[in-house]
Amino acid sequence: MSTSSTLSRRLPFQAHPVDEVGIKERVARLATRSIKKSSKVEGLKLALSMVDLTTLEGADTPGRVRQLCTKAVHLHSGRTDLPMVAAVCVYPTMVRVAREALKGTPIKVAAVATAFPSGMNPLTVKLEDTRYAVGEGAHEIDMVISRGDFLRGDYGRVADEIAEVKKACGEAHLKVILETGELGTLDRVRLASDIAMEAGADFIKTSTGKIQPAATPEVVLVMLQAISDFYRKTGRKIGMKPAGGIANAKAALNLLVMVREVLGPDWLNPDLFRIGASKLPNDILMQLEKERTGVYQGGDYFSND
């Protein structure tokens, strides 16, 4: 599909205006929730179970991916009370390695596709990229939207592309990355969320992790509200995945608070909420060990994979 039809170009997406000042206030208020003691420990474990443990480097090797998969299963030596992470997220060429390494575990393998991270390739290439990753065994596909088309106002084309990729996914679940750091305004974040959900996303995801800002609380809140509206309208529960820059336990707990108060407890599980991260688990582990032993341990007591 080289050009989008006039019809789809004019697809009517109802604007849901967002007030940035109001969003900031709500974010600030949610950040004042006090999460202590048992609710902190439970919350941190819950967050671990939602992590998409990620490595997306040009320098990734099969060995490195295998290491990461081991970490995904055994987060910290000597602790048996910890959950496994939800998924491991890799480039398409590493999917097979990850599937092998995770055999026999419930951990999913997610692959970034569609010319990640820029999306600057023709749709045919993007679809082939997707089919390849699915063929290698990916359970989940993390695609990027075409920000250029979106910012130009060609919403129909963005929607069509998502729908095509969804088809190419087959059984695999589709996460649609909006790359909010390139969208500029919260109004656009909201519109892109609506388009992605209408076009067939199973999850909407903030960022690739390659661009800053990434998963700011403001962006997450706007996307959660979009999911809430979509659910009310269609009865379909769409998942949410903030990714990029979520490096500490406090930020993770804050995300859980936002999900709980905006979407409700139904969304507080890895089927509907994921956190894309690479460094986050170690900070959470540090906090959990502190809660267990009463003292903080240095970074060298936690494995870096």
Partner 1 sequence: MTKTSTTIGSDWGYAPAPESADHFKLKDQYGLFIGGKFVPAASGKRLKTINPANEKVIAEVADGGEKDVAKAVQAARTAYDKVWRKMSGRERGKYLYRIARIIQERARELAVVESMDGGKPIRESRDVDIPLAAAHFFYHAGWGDKLRYAFPGKSVSPIGVAGQIIPWNFPLLMVAWKVAPALACGNTVVLKPAETTPLTALLFSEICQEAGLPEGVFNLITGAGSTGAALVNHPGLDKVAFTGSTEVGKAIQKSLAGRGTRLTLELGGKAAHIIFEDATIDQAVEGIINGIYFNQGHVCCAGSRLLVQESVEEEVVTKLKARMESLIVGDPLDKNTDIGAINSKAQWDRIRDYLKIGEEEGAELFQTKCSVPEKGYWIRPSFFTRVAQSHRIVQEEIFGPVLAIQTFRTLNEALEKANNTPYGLSGGVWTDKGAKIFKVTRGIRAGVIWANTFNKFDPTSPFGGYKESGYGREGGRHGLRPYVELS
Q: Which of 129, 142, 194, 202 is catalytic?
A: 142
Whether 28 and 197 have beta carbons less than 8 Å apart is answered as no
Of the pair 154, 218, the CB lying nearest partner 1 is at 218
Residue 95 gets the label, from left (phi > 0), alpha (psi -120 to 50) or beta, of alpha
Residue nearer to partner 1 on the CB measure, 123 or 204:
204
Within 10 A of 135 (CB to CB), how many other CB atoms are there? Answer: 12
Q: How far is the CB of 210 from partner 1 (least distance, A)?
A: 26
30: Cβ contacts below 8 Å, ≥ 6 apart: 217, 221, 254, 257, 258, 261
Question: What x/- string results for residues 267 through 286 when contact with partner 1 is judged by CB under 8 A?
Answer: -xxxxxx-------------
Which residue is it, tokens 């995801």? 205
H-assigned helices in the chain: 6-9, 20-30, 37-49, 62-73, 95-101, 123-136, 147-152, 155-169, 186-198, 217-234, 249-262, 280-293
Give me the least distance between CB of 36 and partner 1, in Å please: 5
Stretch 10-39: interaction string toward partner 1, x if CB under 8 A: ------xxxx-xxx-xx-----xxxxxxxx
Query: d(Cα 192, Cα 185) in Å, to the nearest integer?
Result: 11
Q: Which of 115, 118, 260, 303 binds partner 1 (CB under 8 A)?
A: 260
* 194 is known as an active-site residue: no
Closest separation between CB of residue 22 and partner 1, Å? 3
User: Is position 256 an interface residue for partner 1 (rule: CB under 8 A)?
Assistant: yes
Nearest approach, Cβ of 163 to partner 1 (angstroms)? 19
Is residue 86 a contact point for partner 1 (CB under 8 A)? yes
Q: Which one among 239, 242, 276, 281 touches partner 1, defined by CB under 8 A?
A: 239
User: Do 239 and 231 touch, CB atoms closer than 8 A?
Assistant: no
Residue 177 buriedness (CB in 10 A; 0-12 / 13-18 / 19+): buried
Q: Can you tell me the distance from the alpha carbon of 40 to that of 34, in angstroms, rounded to the nearest whole number?
A: 9
Structure tokens at 158: 């963005």
Q: How far is the CB of 33 from partner 1 (least distance, A)?
A: 6
- Binding of partner 1 at residue 43 (CB under 8 A)? yes
205 is catalytic: yes
When binding is defined by CB under 8 A, the residue of 60, 128, 198, 261 that contacts partner 1 is 261
Q: Dig out the tokens for 188 from the structure.
A: 């656009």
Interface with partner 1 in residues 190-209 (CB under 8 A): 202
**Closer to partner 1 at the Cβ: 152 or 292?**
292
Question: Could you give the C-alpha distances from 121 to 37, 126, 151, 161, in angstroms and in order?
Answer: 49, 7, 16, 12
Per CB under 8 A, 103 contacts partner 1: no
Q: Which residues contact 194 (CB under 8 A, 6 or more apart)?
A: 13, 14, 16, 226, 230
- Tell me the number of residues near partner 1 by CB under 8 A: 48
Q: Is 291 in the site for partner 1 (CB under 8 A)?
A: no
Question: 149 an active-site residue?
Answer: no
Q: Which residues bind partner 1 (CB under 8 A)?
A: 16-19, 21-23, 25-26, 32-40, 42-43, 45-46, 49, 83-84, 86-87, 106-108, 173, 202, 225, 228, 232, 239, 256, 260-261, 264-266, 268-273
Instruction: Indicate which residues carry an active-site annotation.
Output: 142, 205, 241
